[in-house]
Amino acid sequence: MSRIGLAPITLPADVQLSINGNTISVKGKLGELTQDIPESIKINQNDGEINVERMNEEKQTKAYHGLYRALIANMIEGVTKGFERKLELVGVGYRASNQGQNLDLSLGYSHNILFQVPNEVKVETVSDKGKNPIIILNSFDKQLVGAVAAKIRSFRKPEPYKGKGVKYVGEFIRRKAGKTASK
């Protein structure tokens, strides 16, 4: 039994939800998102509350039940509040700057990395003296902002010896001991 799938989703007053066949559309003040839903999942909307139900008891349908309830809840939260992801550049000489949607990263390679951020994601860079540079990504699409953050992190993943690289703010990096001289 999916406990997540059984929980109802409250629909805020400023969000419009429309169901057209197997496609659900959510429109709010920050943007509009659509999601295709399989035939085995049914969505009921009444009195500002959304319930996700499954049509049969197959294993795949049970898995979809909780998944699509979570996706719809994330869509509603995205168009009302939005999502934010912060990345921190740890390392001597690591810098980040942006001009509009173009992100310029200096990560210790012989060249700078130029990354075009999608238009749905707003990018901001913060460089304070004495602190590591921070990249802030904001969007109404949780999947997209997570994918963009993962792509930026993949340019220089944090290494376990010194912790240098691009990491999420608050991410814990397991450290390894380096070589030790033997007698």
101-143 pLDDT, tens per residue?
Answer: 999 999 999 999 999 999 999 999 999 999 999 999 999 999 9
Give the whole-number percent of the chain exceeding pLDDT 90: 86
Predicted confidence band of residue 3 (pLDDT cuts 50, 70, 90): confident
What backbone torsions phi and psi does residue 66 show, to the nearest 5 degrees? -70, -35
Q: What is the C-alpha separation between 117 and 180, in angstroms, rounded?
A: 43
pLDDT above 90 for 47: no
Name the CATH topology of 83-168: Outer Surface Protein A; domain 3 (3.90.930)
Is 3-80 a CATH 3.40.1160.10 domain? no
Q: What is the C-alpha separation between 29 and 10, in angstroms, rounded?
A: 17
In this structure, are residues 79 and 31 in contact, taking their beta carbons and an 8 Å threshold? yes
Query: Where exactly does CATH 3.90.930.12 map onto the chain?
Result: 3-80, 83-168
- What pLDDT is attached to residue 1? 55
Number of residues assigned to the chain: 183
Q: Please give the average per-residue pLDDT across 87-99, as a whole number.
A: 94
- What pLDDT is attached to residue 78? 95
Query: If you average pLDDT over every residue of the chain, what do you get?
Result: 92
In this structure, are residues 87 and 135 in contact, taking their beta carbons and an 8 Å threshold? yes
Q: What is the C-alpha separation between 14 and 30, in angstroms, rounded?
A: 11
- What pLDDT is attached to residue 101? 93
